[in-house]
Structure 1
């Protein structure tokens, strides 16, 4: 019983810690929980690892590239897919390909365009560029209105957005045939002075249409501008349309009821309520679902789960590419696990190793670099143990195990991060046959 309680507590920890603590694994868990609760439609978004906070390498968007490649290889038409990209800044997307092969995509970024250009915006721009490079003739739409005021919260916006992207078309005015019909109608429109249409040009010459998004996706806007500025500028057909299954209207009259005074400002509490619901429902999901089934349901929302659903075979890679992929995966898992206390040592190690990878250094030299950081005791004990555990689990540090053990850097208790690591250690301790 205690072990089960500890399992649930560990799984739910980041949700309970609040805004700014959710990581890739939490996104997968939240999507698995939502899918398990839906019986009237198939909730099947894909959660992708995005740019790390302490790294900026070509590998940062590797999963998104692979995701787009799978869509292209599948050749499926018509197609409708939603996704979340996690990492430094979370965003959500909705892709549609019709029977004639016309590609359209909506990128939802809670920061919008109405703020100074930051690294977050640069990451979003990189993601949009990646999409345009794969689908150069696509119609690309971007949510221009800033819904997130400041600080953390993008992960909850993204999870809430992807949940509502599966039902948004129920809450559009009747003149639109779907979400992308609504978005296309906003292009070039000058009627909304609060959220005027804008265009952004991409490096490859493509155009991003920066447009207002449906009111049902605006509910969580933190600023009081939601009801003082944005809603009054929307058409009567939109403000008279329900935005939820409860028949709720989002009007200048009703919206203020969700706002509370906080540090001298009126703040919308809908996003906080959304996080509380995610936490409660995820805890309940973990309580009634076996650990094996949780892992299986989570798999549905991974890149590999998406590949299987689309029927696209795994591409063959040479041994060196495979090693690099495993190494990057180990660092990403380490980042997810140690989200609250990344050290300067871990930042330098990731940076150094990724530079070596870009320079096509040998595995032996990369091993030496990793060992150098470990032996020099630049990591606090817990961080060192977790990092090495993930590197062993990824199968990229096994050749150096004996060197580490002879050096006495880890006790067996500290080093045995999980069962697979412990098994690997036991195998290495066995006498070698001559």
Structure 2
């Protein structure tokens, strides 16, 4: 079997999903699993729809991300049934006839109107229906039973070989686009022009990439989710931070890189120090590692860098204990990734619910679980020079911890973030991102 070929890996993936669905239905007391693909949302007081986002549970079973008003029906012991809407429509492009590696493993029914699904669905009272409220069709309103969702979301943390193959393909697309974005930056392009170069190289527009591209020049890199996209380049481009991904069959890549215009500058040296520390953090993605501890260890590593560059005047441990480190690294180390960029169950205590708390003083960490084989997480440490947060350090009485002249030196560059997607295995972790750049 070709470990890179999703078509060959799909049957085993489907078998895993069936087994998980059997257990989820047993726990929730239902006989059938129904997953609507979703329905379009429309803008207020208008007939214009928002970009369609498929139900992630639907694309877990099927590599279909654009079909609306369709259904996945699973009954234990039977082949999955796919009710596929192919409407008569001259306003929009009609989905092509069902095709692909999934078709031979499912019972496929093509319908022309959403209502034609009704006689093909099992009795609503015996169904666990996973989806949005606006996906309701007749008596078939999503009930999202907690017992089923807790189990399925928890199990989604463990990626099948099929899923990993699709994620690697998403990485390749994103890495190619990152290279194009760097070239545009070094040619003097504006943020908007860099964004367009990225989308062109990825062959995905703003509705197809898994999240809105963050394209930040100079001080804009100090805004964690900067998405304004200036149309004119700055008078002088000093630095470039790009956080941008790509999708493949519904699976996401999430990659961040930072560049200095002057490859001989002190800021470039700081980028290289963060990159080296980030690779050490990626190497720590091992089975049995508590992600919360990895996050705290990242604070210490980043503060060592700031001390080496003369920004921090106290020990890394003191900076962490007093909250000074959070002024420079205010977000979490990363998050689960897969069908969604910020994938589910990052805080799950078990497959029966409950949550694992964040470390005190770290409210933005998106993952608190112990790592296990099959999990994929992002590792995205950062150092930023954010005036609002640095002012808080002074107000809290810790201003003496920082050399403010050094802060003034680095402030025009905004910040640094380096992000890879990393799979936890039985042994050494697999960095999904770096080979895509190589």
Q: Which has the higher helix share?
A: 1
Q: Which has the higher strand share?
A: 2
The TM-score with structure 1 as length reference comes to 0.28
